[in-house]
Chains A and B, each alone.
Chain A
Amino acid sequence: MLGYALRRLFGLVPVLFVVVALAFVANRLTPGDPVLMMLGTRAGDEALAANLRHQYGLDRPLWQQFVAYVGGVLRGDFGLSYRFVGTPVVEVIKDGLAVSPILAIAALALAIPLGVAVGTFAALRRNSWIDLGLIVVLVAGISVPNFAMAAFLVYLVSLKLGWLPVAGWGTLRHAVLPVLLLAIPPSAYLARLARTYMLEVLQQDYVRTARAKGLRPRLVIYRHALRNTVVPLLTTIGILFGGLLSGTFVVETIFNLPGLGSLAIQAIFARDYPVTLAIVVLFTVFYAGINLAVDLVYGWVDPRIRLGRREA
């Protein structure tokens, strides 16, 4: 198990190195001279230009810049922002770090129980009108992008009913709608999978045995069926988390939240490339980390899976 974990961890190194290298190359390929942009109205001030060029390391050969960038990223330093001259990128994105991951994790924490509950509910009423209706709702929940749902949800909940604030950040009430919107697609996805798995599990011999020995139907579900429904769902959490990270871009834009997603978009328009690329690298690292964690947890939760051991 430990050997497998280490091997997976080392396997990530080349991929993440390429991601960081791509970020560096992307930064070089961006049009325009960053120093010229930073000079703004003081263009022509040669001394200042040389100074900035030196401060940003742009006077060094490309390979030195690359080594410095990779070394910096390893220490959690993403260089200096172009937009806020002289400010480290980390300072610019620091506040966002406390928003996006929290949104994504809260949405996942909401989606897992909600999805399993709805899926189980539908499975136990298989082919009833409630089940058929739920399936259509779930298709909509999985596929309709959350910014399209946002219009209806915000209109109804915030504007017509006045229950929650329209936008902003700071209190728990501000987080309700963003988390809810983020949680809808993964909840619907998990519910559909949970329904399928539950239907499969309910056909198993051990469920029939449990029923035959007179165990109360509720206990059959809770103690026998649910456990084997939830474990396979865990594998999808990595993919769902990737979707949630992208979802934070959308939700932060809708509600004007100071997260990494909206910072990245603002940075694209402000041509503050180091900030955008830092966020791209961070999101990719989160994503890789979660996927690794899910694989490891999966092997631990389900002892039938022997990670990293070759079958004879």
Chain B
Amino acid sequence: MGDRPGFDVVRRFRRSRNAVLGGTIVSAVVLVALFARFLAPYSVEDTDLLAVWGPPSLAHPLGTDNLGRDTLSRLIVGAQVSLLIALSVLAITLTVGVTFGMLAGYRGGLVDAAVMRVVDVIFAFPELIFAVLLATVLGTGTRTVVAALAVVWWPGIARLTRSLVLSLRTALFIDAAVTSGTPRRTIMLRHLLPNVVAPIITRASIGVGFLVTAEATLSFLGIGVQEPTPSWGGMIRDGLSALRTEPQLALFASLALGITIIGFNLLGDGLRDLLDPRARDR
């Protein structure tokens, strides 16, 4: 919208300011997660039944939970747990999604049809419901969370890869490679992959915020990360059941999760704007 150039500057400034704010929050969470074991003042599994539901104090800045465990330490290690799950899911979905997306886009025909039907079936489930289905088979736990999120997440990556490959298939350098008798595998790995990988990785990292949310939701429902491993979702659930008398656990854990998610989304929006100038007004 070029009719009011003055406002355009205002908007860009606001956009970048939001992205900077998001980036700061995300970097802080990542640093905390990286050095969690050094930063956490207490062990996350040490219970102290004499200090159950302790209020915030000098020894325990954010108080203690129903088993007397230090809330601050559990939030710090919870950040690590959460990000590790998100990164594992990201690694799996990128491998699976890019492989099948490239096969579907480049080979076409039956391979394409088969991959896209599988994608359709997974998209037919409302969010989370596939995770519930998987939790019935695999049981609850971290393994289930990673598997469920990976299953739900790879179709999006595969679709994106497929569309990128389709747009490249008629490019001159691919024709040249085909004409000079390059094997199909080499074309895919040497010629196509380097050209699709950058946009895919950036788009996928924008989704890390959603992965963190999804993990927290599954853990909140009790089918995700299990005790004694700390997870923000599980802490919020423990805290909510004691909200009437001991609100601090639910409030601090919700605050940690909320701020982190907002950070990821602000950064994601900023990245999206940077990558896709047409969507800048959205």
Interface residues of A (CB under 8 A from B): 15-16, 18-19, 22-23, 26-27, 29-31, 126-127, 132, 135-136, 139-140, 142-145, 147-152, 154-155, 159, 166, 196, 199-200, 203, 241-243, 245-246, 249-250, 253-254, 264-265, 268-269, 273, 276-277, 279-280, 283-284, 286-288
Contact = CB atoms under 8 A, between A and B. Distances in A.
B254 A265 contact: no
B26 interface: no
B261 interface: yes
Interface centre among A23, A149, A246, A280 (most CB of B within 10 A): A246
Contacts of B281: 196, 199-200
A269 B140 CA distance: 9
A127 B11 contact: yes
Contacts of A18: 121, 124
Nearest to B17: A132
Nearest to B7: A127
B262 interface: yes
B233 A147 contact: yes
A140 B262 contact: yes
Nearest to A255: B240
Contacts of B135: 268
B247 interface: yes
Given A147-B233, A149-B258, A249-B221, 15 more contacts: A19-B125, A139-B266, A145-B220, A147-B220, A147-B240, A199-B281, A242-B126, A246-B217, A265-B222, A268-B135, A268-B223, A269-B140, A269-B222, A280-B132, A284-B125
B129 A280 contact: yes
9 contacts: A135-B14, A144-B261, A147-B240, A148-B254, A149-B254, A155-B247, A155-B251, A246-B127, A280-B125
A273 B134 CA distance: 11
Contacts of B179: none
Tell me if A's interface is mostly helix, strand, loop or mixed.
helix
A220 B158 CA distance: 44
Interface residues of B, number: 53
B272 to A, nearest CB: 13
Nearest to B120: A15
A254 B240 contact: yes
Contacts of B11: 127
A21 to B, nearest CB: 10
Given A144-B258, A284-B129, A250 B265 contact: no
B56 to A, nearest CB: 16
Contacts of B58: none
A151 B240 contact: yes
A144 B257 contact: yes
B132 A276 contact: yes
A136 B266 CA distance: 9
A249 B261 contact: no
A139 B254 contact: no
Contacts of B128: 246, 249
Nearest to A139: B265
A154 B251 CA distance: 11
A143 B265 CA distance: 7
Contact of B257 (A23, A145, A200, A279): A145
A154 B62 CA distance: 20
Contacts of A149: 254, 258
Nearest to B268: A143
Given A30-B137, A31-B139, A147-B236, A287 B254 contact: no
Contacts of A22: 121, 133
Contacts of B251: 151-152, 155
A26 B133 CA distance: 7
A279 B135 CA distance: 13
Contact of B240 (A136, A154, A196): A154
B244 interface: yes
B136 interface: yes
Contact of A159 (B3, B136, B247): B247
Interface in B202-258: 209, 213, 216-217, 220-223, 233, 236-237, 239-240, 243-244, 247, 250-251, 253-255, 257-258
